[in-house]
Amino acid sequence: MKARNKFDEVFAEAVYEGLSWFSSLIAPLILIQDAMSFESGMIKSKLKIRDAIALERGLERVFGFGAKVLEKKILEVLYIKLQLNREITQNFKFAQEVEKASKLYKSKLRARERS
């Protein structure tokens, strides 16, 4: 599986798990526009890294300042799933952090391939 496709899949899972941390009812409600679909209990991702900006805006519209808590949880789950060690700064920008995670993940895969 290509690094981008794998990252998008892990990102979608992290979004769902991060939102479910808040409430198991809220994740399906927030993931609007058929960003994800559910088939027999499995998540089939249509969420792409470029959707991070739209997700960030949507969370801010729904939760206002509280969106940062959910965004941070999503990022924490994402870093754990990608097995990346990264501290999330207090003034983080969600979409930028997702992009950084993608770059770190690709770099990690390239380093593994060279070994």
pLDDT at 35: 45
pLDDT for 49 equals 59
pLDDT reported for residue 3: 64
> Which portions of the chain are predicted below pLDDT 70?
1-4, 23-50
DSSP annotation of 37: E
Residue 36 is predicted with a pLDDT of: 43
- What are the tens digits of pLDDT across the range 39-69? 434 444 555 656 788 888 888 888 888 889 9
Q: What is the pLDDT of residue 48?
A: 62
Backbone dihedral angles phi then psi of residue 92, each to the nearest 5 degrees: -70, 155
What per-residue confidence (pLDDT) applies to 59?
83
